[in-house]
């Protein structure tokens, strides 16, 4: 029943809100039912758990309005790291500063955007991280993945290629380089030239 569910969820409502949450609510349909707040990132340094009480896919301004409707007009503006970054980007005309809470947070935001299917946001955040740390292999790899998810195959592989040169110790970037070289070699053989190649390098 709705009343029983509301009682079960009441303790979780004490968890602080964030538009880039590090936890989620799990409802167990047992007898009696139970609700647990589970961290999304295992093995990370201890941090305060946060949940999202709004639509994470909505723009920042819309999320702010939703929170005011949910918690009342006295609700202060959400100041989570994602809102701070997105609202500042809007104010700056889309450029963003990349230094809200430290640019290391940009990768957390980019990973969240990828998980939610916001590939354009993920690519933008990865680029901002790269602007501050050119040899961040994880940022280059995520940028390529975001571009590939948007259908920009050539741009994705160019990003991986540039990232591999700047971060030679990054395992995934170097593996992609080897895969791309093998594909080029395979498609340059006489069999491939006759149209008998295998048709693509994949990701």
Q: Specify the higher pLDDT residue, 13 or 140.
A: 140
Provide the mean pLDDT of the chain: 77
Q: Is the pLDDT of residue 136 over 90?
A: yes
For 71-127, write each residue's pLDDT tens digit.
776 666 787 888 887 777 654 444 444 444 456 678 888 888 888 888 998 998 899
String of DSSP letters for 15-70: SEE-SS-SEEEEEE-SSS-EEEEEESSTTSPP---EE--S-TTS-HHHHHHHHHHH
Buried b (16+ CB within 10 A) or exposed e, 24-47: ebeeeeeeeeeeebeeeeeeeeee
Q: Which of 41-55, 105-119, 138-152 has the lowest mean pLDDT?
A: 41-55
Q: Is the pLDDT of residue 6 over 50?
A: no
Pairs from 71-75 (Cβ < 8 Å, separation ≥ 24): none
pLDDT bin (cut points 50, 70, 90) of residue 43 is low
CA distance 104 to 127: 12
Is 23 in contact with 39 (CB distance < 8 Å)? Answer: yes
Structure tokens at 123: 């690519």
Provide the pLDDT for residue 167. Answer: 95
pTM reported for the whole predicted model: 0.61
Q: Is the pLDDT of residue 135 over 50?
A: yes
Q: Which residue has the tokens 């949940």?
A: 51
Mean pLDDT score, 29-49: 69
Question: Residue 109 — φ and ψ, nearest 5°?
Answer: -65, -40
């Amino acid at each position: 029943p709705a009343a029983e569910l509301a009682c079960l969820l009441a303790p979780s409502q004490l968890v602080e809100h964030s538009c880039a949450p590090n936890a989620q609510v799990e409802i167990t349909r047992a007898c009696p039912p139970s609700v647990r707040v589970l961290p999304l990132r295992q093995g990370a340094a201890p941090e305060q758990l946060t949940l999202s009480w709004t639509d994470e896919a909505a723009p920042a301004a819309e999320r702010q309005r939703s929170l005011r409707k949910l918690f009342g007009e006295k609700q202060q503006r959400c100041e989570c790291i994602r809102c701070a970054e997105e609202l500042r980007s809007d104010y700056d005309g889309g450029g963003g500063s990349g230094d809200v809470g430290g640019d290391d947070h940009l990768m957390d935001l980019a990973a969240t955007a990828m998980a939610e299917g916001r590939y354009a946001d993920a690519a933008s955040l990865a680029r901002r991280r790269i602007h501050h740390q050119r040899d961040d292999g994880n940022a280059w790899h995520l940028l390529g993945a975001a571009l590939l998810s948007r259908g920009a195959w050539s741009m994705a592989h160019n990003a991986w290629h540039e990232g591999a040169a700047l971060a030679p110790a990054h395992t995934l970037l170097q593996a992609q380089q080897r895969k791309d070289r093998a594909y080029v070699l395979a498609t340059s053989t006489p069999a491939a030239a006759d149209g008998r190649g295998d048709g693509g390098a994949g990701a």
